[in-house]
Amino acid sequence: MRVGLLGPLEIEHEGAPVAVGGGRLRALLARLALDAGRPVTVGALVDALWEDDLPADQVHALQSLVSRLRRALGDPALVSPAPGGYRLEDTQTDVQEFEREPQHGLRLWRGPALADLREYRFAQQAAARLEEQRVTALIETGDVTALEALHGEHPLHERLAARLIGALFATGRQADALAVYERTRRRLDEELGVLPSPELQQAHLAVLQAEPTAAKRTNLPAPVTSFVGRERELAQIDELLQRSRLVTLLGPGGAGKTRLARESVARHVDDVEDGVWQVELAPVTADSEIVPATLGALGLREAVLPGMAPRDTLRHLLGVLAERDAIIILDNCEHVIAAAADLADQLLAGCPRLKIVATSREALAIDGEALVAVPPLPETPALTLFTDRATAARPGFVVDDAAREICRRLDGLPLALELAAARLRTLTARELAERLDDRFRLLTGGSRTALPRHRTLRAVVDWSWELLDEPERVLARRLAIFTAGATVASASAVYGDDAFDGLAALAERSLLQVIPDAEPTRYRMLETIREYGLEKLEEAGELDATRAAHARYFADLVAEAEPKLRGHEQARWYALLDAEREHIIAALRHFGEVEDARSGVRLAVQLFWLWLLSGSQHEAKTWTSFAVAIPGEADPADRTIAEGVLQLAELEDHPYQEDAQALIRAMYDRVGELEDADRPLVALAKVVLELFAGVEENTQEQAAREHPDPWVRAVVRLFLAGKAENDGEIEAMGEHLATARVQLTELGDSFALGMALFLESGRLMLLARLDEAEQTLEQVREAFSALNPDALAGMLDMRISDFRLRAGNLDGAREYALRSRHRRDIGRDDLAFVQALQARIEWIAGNLDAAEAVLADALSRLEHLPPAMPGTHGHALVHAVAASLAAEQGDFERAGAYLAIAHAAAVNTKDMPMHAAVAVSAAAVAAAQGDRDGAAELLAAATAIRGVDDPTNPEITRLALTPPPPPTRAVGLEQLAAFASRPAPVTP
């Protein structure tokens, strides 16, 4: 007999389940099973079963219960008399197997131990003991996902918390590791009144003392099942990656190409400087979506305030990857083969250190491609794979001839084997093999080579589908519309009723997978089953209606979420919409296909803030263009907003067109007529357009400051703070930011609060309040991490580097500048900012050769920027530092030339802090020429331009000058222009 205690009580005798009714009878069996094979005394059994309510005749009451148990089990010999009590004979339990090999035995757990007997104290005590053993076993695995889930169940378990901290840190999640310690420490104090244990404190200290954690190096999911076979293919891929930059895995559907690709590149995570990344193309439905899918997989984000427009996404991708040492998987290319081949070709041509592993049913057919065939598994590994999955579905499974026949008939296709193994929960291997005889006639006789994916797997899915009842089939085929998994709510929307029970049933039958750690719970179909379901949906005549219900649900979800993305629930709603991004786009595409312009344009407009939060500016432009092009009538206000966004994007791409100012004024006039009481982004757009249109009356600014929406009143302060900084009004800037911070904290908008804090950190550094600036920078990171730990990471690292430079920590400054350079949000056109910072650090440190090397590379890059990327800010910064360095080296001709370029670029930006930076470089040049009075006057001019002294700037302090009182800003700008334009003295 086999008794299962690791979950609700289960009994199986000679391979058949045994029903034992009655709570006390089941409790007797469980108590005996806890000591299976060993005597349990009468006293111990009576105490366990009756506790404080003892029967008058304890011995006879127990004897009666034992007799009933023997009859229920059908074999009296199973419960035998023993000295002083009774013993369970010829019985194996899952507890015994678990305690022999705890880590291997974790798979035996079906839920909380003795879950249906918790009213008995003995069961509670045994369950607590077993739970502690389970926790210990899980701790020993070191699996981050398992440890995080376990920590949620046992938040005060200090050894578990210590192990989780170490595991998180080892995977590059330093911030999360520190958060676990702080959360555990606080709960220990509040709930138990104790300090963390030495082990927990040591884990915390190890994280604090270690080197800063590198950025995330991969998005490959952690494997949850074993990987079987493929040694030859793995070796072949390794060899090819040494001499080829494109390796394509070819094979039928279901052959395991994706898993093989992951396994092959996962071993290189630590070998390539910028990690390995999987781009899942299966959900992509159009060629234009491939590059955005790649950006999303790489985590590339561009965070921009309202009113700013996107960059070209392919140029962005090529720029970021241009010099990265990385491996990318382009997975499931076959349905977009031409576009995938084109992207691979451009990536390989423009990114010389990049390697690509593609999976497809056909070759990409481009130069340099190396092919690896992925056939079905040979007999032995196929049997190993089937046995592994079968044991998980049916503990105690033993390989026999039926199992070998199943593997042979399924041609060793891994997906088919896994689907078949899952059915062993309800069928024996022989019954399964007999069903395959009937269902897989295509696999009998004829060629033994791999059949096309859809034909082989259709047989498996046909068979699985027929096991469902009709309501389950209806739900399953309607779920096929979801490309990225469904929640209970979204599934119910297309099902027309509560889908919870149906989802659970389909997951149990392995037609759905529960996505780990998703909140809310998300159910995903294997792609082959989804394709099958779509066919069934079309056969039932339900495709159009289901797509319409799907689109309406997600349009309504966005409408509900949009205002909540600016408040205390921002993080939760952002995570939900981010998880549903594919479905939201599918809804927009549906509105386009049915020519529902009103719904399409409205959805595109309601998505603007989500695009801004996620840094997906190119998607904003792409899908707004798509929506505007939908035939039919749309809400006039929505259409005006959408068209205005596209015009702003066009102006951003072509800022120097002759009629730019007229276009902005016309846009301002159109948008100014819109009612913005319920459209906060429109209210802010009016402020931006008013500024750039050159309108002297600040009517929109004033309206925003008095707007009925408190979020508008708070965020407009950020624009006003930036304007004040540019006007040199640093005190006013601080007042605006202080107001914004208070209001945004009350509102709960973490992203906007992070922007306010970021601006404040720069202001504090200008005012030499470095301690406050350091604290504020930590608050910035915390605020941005509430949505996305990588949000604005490169920009933030540059600010931290500048702070450390001002504080005299050159090593720290150098470290953070390098980190910013390797952040994924720093593309080719942003690199000038990083390199100017790196050159400044080396110059201040006295490493002139290192500074010159960085500048030489930066100047070369600037020369090769395409016309669409003028990089005026980058030109100003890089040439200003180059001028200072050249002057220090005594090359005054070159210094003068660089300074002239820097000044011209600064003028082009209309950015006064940039003018001030150039003025400081001009002072350095003058001082190097021996004109210390002139240098002092230029420092005074810089002060007049920026509005404050900037006393911690090392470029200023190293000159050791006492500037005269600052002139007016206009005079300061004239002094800078005069110095930058005068002929440089000839270098001796």
- Supply the pLDDT for residue 406: 85
Measure the CA–CA gap between 510 and 507, rounded to whole angstroms.
5
- Output 130 or 211, whichever has higher pLDDT: 130
What is the residue whose two structure tokens read 């592994």? 388
Q: How many residues in total does the chain contain?
A: 988
Contact at 8 Å (CB) between 483 and 468? no
By DSSP bridging, strand 246-250 and strand 92-93 are: unpaired
State pLDDT tens for residues 534-579: 989 999 999 999 999 999 999 999 999 999 999 999 999 999 999 9
Backbone angles phi, psi at 79, to 5 degrees: -115, 100
Report whether CATH 1.10.10.10 matches the domain 243-373.
no
Q: What kind and span of H or E run contains 369?
A: strand 369-373
Q: Report the chain's mean pLDDT, rounded to a whole number.
A: 86
Contact at 8 Å (CB) between 767 and 725? no
- Supply the pLDDT for residue 456: 44
Measure the CA–CA gap between 518 and 579, rounded to whole angstroms.
9
Token readout for 29 is 């069996």
Band of the pLDDT at 493, cuts 50, 70, 90?
very high
State pLDDT tens for residues 29-40: 999 999 988 899
| 3-state DSSP helix/strand/coil % of the chain, to nearest 5 | 65, 5, 30
Contact at 8 Å (CB) between 106 and 143? no
Query: How far lies 191's CA from each of 188, 194, 195, in Å?
Result: 5, 8, 11
Which has the closest alpha carbon to 742: 728, 732, 757?
A: 757
User: Which CATH number is associated with domain 142-209?
Assistant: 1.25.40.10
What letter would DSSP give residue 218?
A: B
- Give exposure, 828-854, as e/b (b: 16+ Cβ within 10 Å): bbbbbbbbbbbbbbbbbbebeebbbeb
- Whether the model clears a pTM of 0.75, i.e. scores above it, the answer is no
- Name the class of domain 2-128: mainly alpha
> What is the full DSSP assignment across 760-801?
HHHHHHHTT-HHHHHHHHHHHHHHHHTT-TTTTHHHHHHHHH
Q: What kind and span of H or E run contains 585?
A: helix 581-593
- Output 303 or 511, whichever has higher pLDDT: 511
Domain boundaries, the chain: 2-128, 142-209, 243-373, 379-449, 654-708, 792-981
Which has the closest alpha carbon to 140: 183, 190, 104, 181?
A: 104
Query: How far lies 557's CA from each of 22, 90, 561, 584, in Å?
Result: 47, 57, 6, 9
Band of the pLDDT at 903, cuts 50, 70, 90?
very high
Contact at 8 Å (CB) between 511 and 522? no
Partners of 553 in the β-ladder:
none
Which has the closest alpha carbon to 425: 400, 457, 389?
A: 389
**CATH architecture, domain defined by 792-981:** Alpha Horseshoe (1.25)
- Output 103 or 809, whichever has higher pLDDT: 809
Measure the CA–CA gap between 890 and 607, rounded to whole angstroms.
55
Same fold, 142-209 and 792-981: yes
Distance from chain centroid for Cα 466: 37
- Supply the pLDDT for residue 655: 56
Task: Evaluate if residue 631 carries a pLDDT over 90.
Answer: yes
State pLDDT tens for residues 908-925: 888 899 999 999 999 999
Task: Evaluate if residue 789 carries a pLDDT over 80.
Answer: no
State pLDDT tens for residues 174-222: 778 888 888 898 888 888 888 888 888 888 887 777 644 445 678 888 7
For the chain, give the percent of residues with pLDDT over 90.
46
Q: Centre a 10 Å sphere on the Cβ of residue 651 and count the other Cβ atoms it contains.
A: 19
Backbone angles phi, psi at 816, to 5 degrees: -70, -30
Backbone angles phi, psi at 308, to 5 degrees: -90, 150
Which has the closest alpha carbon to 681: 810, 818, 591, 565?
A: 565
- Supply the pLDDT for residue 984: 60
Tell me the one-letter amino acid at 521: T
- Supply the pLDDT for residue 421: 84
- Supply the pLDDT for residue 142: 65
Question: Could you tell me which residues come within 8 angstroms of residue 856 by beta carbon, excluding any fewer than 6 positions away?
Answer: none
